[in-house]
Amino acid sequence: MMKNEIQLLDVVALTIDIPQYNLFRGEIGAVVECYPTDGYEVEFVSLDGYTYALVALRGNQLIPLRQKPQRLARTTVPATIFADQPLLSNAHPKT
């Protein structure tokens, strides 16, 4: 398997606009079917959980989104604590 191969249930983003389906570059969907010749059925779901598009796409129209980076960062940025922000000792206010 290649490193960037798209797989079933992968989260993917569009790399192009597809105006006939009202889909635009950067929209995020989930692969619900993989076809043998670089084809994928991708479902796009609204925030309230309804499918607004179910479209067959080619691999070059998608980029897989990974939870882990594919390579190590060359530099790191330290976390910053803001002195003017109070520390949260409790997530819920007392009643």
Give domain status of residue 21, yes or no. yes
Kindly state the average pLDDT of the residues 21-46.
95
- CATH number of the domain residue 28 falls in: 2.30.30
Full 3-state SS string of 29-63: EEEEEEECCCEEEEEEECCCCCEEEEEEEEHHHEE
Name 11's bridge partners: 30
Give domain status of residue 25, yes or no. yes
Give domain status of residue 52, yes or no. yes
Give domain status of residue 72, yes or no. no
Model pTM greater than 0.85?
no
The amino acid that residue 62 corresponds to is L
Give domain status of residue 39, yes or no. yes
pLDDT digits (tens, 9 = 90+) for 49-67: 999 999 999 999 999 997 6
Residue 21 clears pLDDT 50, i.e. is over it = yes
- Give me the domain span that covers residue 55: 11-64
Residue 78 clears pLDDT 70, i.e. is over it = no
Name 59's bridge partners: none
- What is the number of structural domains in the chain? 1
Give domain status of residue 69, yes or no. no
